[in-house]
Structure 1
Amino acid sequence: MTQETSATPLGPEAEAPARHQPRRIRVPEVTLRFWITQVLCTTVGQTAADLLNEKTGLGLTGVTVSMSTLLAVALVAQFGTSAHRAGVYWLAVALTGVVGTLVSDDLTDTMGVPLETTTTAFAIALAAVFVVWYRRERTLSLHHIDTTSRESFYWIAVLFAFALGTAAGDLAAERTGLGYWLCAALFAAAIAAVTIAHFALGLDAVWSFWITFVLTRPLGASTGHYLSEPAGHGGLGLGTVVTSALFLAVILGLGFRDAVTRRAG
């Protein structure tokens, strides 16, 4: 699924002049490889969050603060690049996935906020980001993320999208009672439905992108749980360490291949 620039969820997309000096776009082109890496990062986001919570002894709040600090460092590096750098970008995405998961889990498990409340709150927050982003920049297209302001809105939206996906995925898992594997299949089917609606029925490209983006989070979480949880809990029993390392290795391998391909070209 690729993102076109013809329309946005808030109406026809106007070509407004950038508020700052345009620069080279630092986000990747939306291709099949983008979505594969996205799902891998969301899986790592879930298993790494579980691993850190289990092993560090800092508690959910302490781990959330620590990982938020690392995310801030990664975003400084991302904003400091002159063009798209796959390793820097996907590191920021993976850390955003970890932080989004931890924030959602901390609100629910530590503070006792119901999943219905967190899901609604994150959905409203994400919608508010889109409204402000569009009113300020007159575009939500990834093809037009060519200023610091637009990229800032993008990363805020990514964080809320991950948090929303975590809360909504946990809520769906609790209400349906399905196992991890069936939940993963359900979210994969939802992504397939959005893809068909986009290519066959003309669903707006920006809507398609962000709906799919949110759905990748519970898909990755369900996959991560299925691989890492013990067999007695409905998983394969690989553990969070092995699962996180496995998916991280694949992400790094894809990034290395991109770098080699770019140099060869």
Structure 2
Amino acid sequence: MANRSFAAPKVPEVFALFWIVKLLTTGIGETGADFMGTANLVLAGVVGVGGFFAVLWWQLRSTAYHPVRYWLTVLMVAVFGTMVADGPHVALGTPYYVDSAVYLVLLCGLLAWWRAAEGTLSVHSITTARRERFYWGTVLLTFGLGTALGDTTAENLRLGFLWSIVIFAVAIVVPLVLWRMGAGVVACFWGAYALTRPLGASVADWLAHAPDKGGLGYGTGLVTAVGLVGFAAAVGYLWWTHADEEGHHAVARAGAHRPSEEDPRDLELQTD
């Protein structure tokens, strides 16, 4: 693919709803992959693998950001990432903590390559086709790493889903605190991005699995269906309002502080 340039970043602006939708995709990816794998392995392969490559091709072929296209790609990365992360454990019998270490090394290697090739890892710089390919490769590896981390705490360490939720809920606050203290925004973003996977997946597993396995027993089908409804509602809101387009919040904040005749202080500032 040629290294095309785009007029604006092909990724959404990062704000609160971004993280909510991201967490929904991680939960849906976890229980959705489990549900399809239990119901029909052929269906799981067609949807998980075929669906992933189809929407990724759709996303990469486009020239502008669109919330439906982008978030469908993230959702299918979540389903496909679950399968990829579980593959080495099932096929080779490796412990999940070993898989986590492998994915961490791969992720660090890809980020180093991206940095060396492009000079930046900022998501605000996804304005060329090559940077976008780096971006989606990184996203896929964060899902693999996050899935393996969640399985490490729940199964290898035998902490169960509830304690895994507590651990990752605390862990995901760390990048926010470090960012507030002046740490690099890029490192904090990708750290938080990777941690959404084990947090969302642990919540979904806790809701779906039977009580004898440490869950509430609602079933993977129901949890997936409810997650999809929430996902569709959130993405529909973003599509309708354009709230996650790059620069939207900066424009809104500027509009909220426009000088007005009703506020003498604003007139004074305008005069100055």
Match of 2:128 among 147, 171, 180: 147
Structure 2: how far apart are the matches of 1:36 and 1:153? 23
Task: Give the match for residue 17 of structure 2.
Answer: 33
Q: Does structure 1 residue 157 correspond to structure 2 residue 141?
A: no
Q: Does structure 1 residue 227 correspond to structure 2 residue 207?
A: yes
Report the structure number with the largest CA radius of gyration. Answer: 2
Provide closer, same or farther for how the CA distance between residues 251 and 43 of structure 1 changes in structure 2, counting only shifts above 3 A. same
CA contact (8 A) 1:230 1:239 kept: yes
* Higher alpha-carbon deviation: 188-197 or 146-155: 188-197
Determine what percentage of the aligned residue pairs are the same residue.
33
Task: Read off the aligned partner of 2:35 and give its amino acid letter.
Answer: L
In structure 2, list runs of 5 or more residues that go unmatched: 249-272
CA RMSD of superposed structures (Å): 1.9
Structure 2: how far apart are the matches of 1:223 and 1:66? 23
Task: Give the match for residue 54 of structure 1.
Answer: 38
Match of 2:175 among 194, 215, 220: 194
Q: Superposed, which structure 2 residues align to 1:10-21 within 5 Å?
A: 20-21=4-5
Deviation at 1:66, TM superposition (A): 5.3
Match of 1:136 among 107, 117, 138: 117
Structure 2: how far apart are the matches of 1:258 and 1:135? 33
CA contact (8 A) 2:6 2:63 kept: no
Task: Read off the aligned partner of 2:16 and give its amino acid letter.
Answer: L
* Higher alpha-carbon deviation: 84-93 or 66-75: 66-75
The C-alpha deviation readout for 1:187-245, integer Å capped at 9, x for no partner, is 0111112211111x212111101111111111011001111011222211111111011
Structure 1: how far apart are the matches of 2:159 and 2:31? 19
Provide closer, same or farther for how the CA distance between residues 114 and 181 of structure 1 changes in structure 2, counting only shifts above 3 A. closer
3-state SS in 2 of match to 1:139: coil
The C-alpha deviation readout for 1:18-45, integer Å capped at 9, x for no partner, is x643432221001111011001100001
Task: Read off the aligned partner of 2:149 and give its amino acid letter.
Answer: A
Match of 1:124 among 98, 105, 113: 105
State TM-score, norm by structure 2.
0.84
Match of 1:70 among 44, 51, 66: 51
Task: Give the match for residue 203 of structure 1.
Answer: 183
Structure 2: how far apart are the matches of 1:71 and 1:29? 23
